Structure 1
């Protein structure tokens, strides 16, 4: 069985000790760097700490549903998620995939199939641009995972909308994000898509994070098009 050329970081989130032990053995023998978690909250925290390149996630966890873990991870993490669960009904599969999971394998499983699926989704993920869970831009420290922003070491309080705007811009670093792209991400109802309202939120965000809001350093305006975040 082919092994990865380097130690790819894998996070296993599964409450069954026997499954965790088996996966640790299977993957470690093939040069994967494996971290283990037995609960959803612990798994999310480990994902923040280790920034895994692939997550193997069970749906039946003691503290929260694995679907909620998947949803939470996808708010900031682009690494592949492979669901490994006894819950094999079509509804769970469709929901997991809609929430951003890359593949779904039911228990019991064969080691060969698991490894093949991991290799396949890792190949597909190679073209993704992966942002780290914490980004340093000048005096700003932005954690997409923890949803926190620090300016010169002091935490800045942002509204939900302000953080969502910042998050979208940061995940598309140095790329222009159009007014429509931002509005589609932030709001569902058409009334809230008023470009002037979006500009008001961006203006309020700038007042909180920019050293000079009238001459922004981080959030640049592309006239008539949208905005761009730069760390330079």
Structure 2
């Protein structure tokens, strides 16, 4: 199969990263977690008390941010590094989750992240997930997925994920956080969350991870076969 770009967009906790990682592994592609990039930037802003409503502060702060992905052979996955520090798990904290949509809505932040993301796709052979990957970052990607799932299901998934790291988190906090992020992601002025033109819609509310993965793989192979015909 020729090298292509596969994008996955959708709301929080729809299973984008899980599916993207499996697709990357299956096809031997690089996985780029765009959401992790915005979380890393948010972490830097929080640690350094950067006012993301102040354009000058944001521009100066971004000059001091270096983001890269390194493959961890032990866990067989790519992990994100912020200025040389592995922050793969730190950025999953609810404190970061509560602010990441606000930071990601900042024009200068999105321009910084999009430019970096597009540089990763120059040689193709990548799988990238996020909120605007198929619509803004790679509008010409060969395969574009848009993932959906019922809100109640997404809340339960996110709660389970966070509870393992923080048993004090409540279902109400997670539900409120997801609703807040959905609103900001869909209504921000810069690159709002939208179904990309030509995207394949996948609703994983009632599928197991393996069933959902098989559906996605078949879709990719179907598109690839048409490209090579």
Query: TM-score, length-normalised on structure 2?
Result: 0.31
Whose radius of gyration is greater, 1 or 2?
A: 1
Higher relative contact order (CA 8 A, sep 6+): 2
Structure with bigger helix share is 2
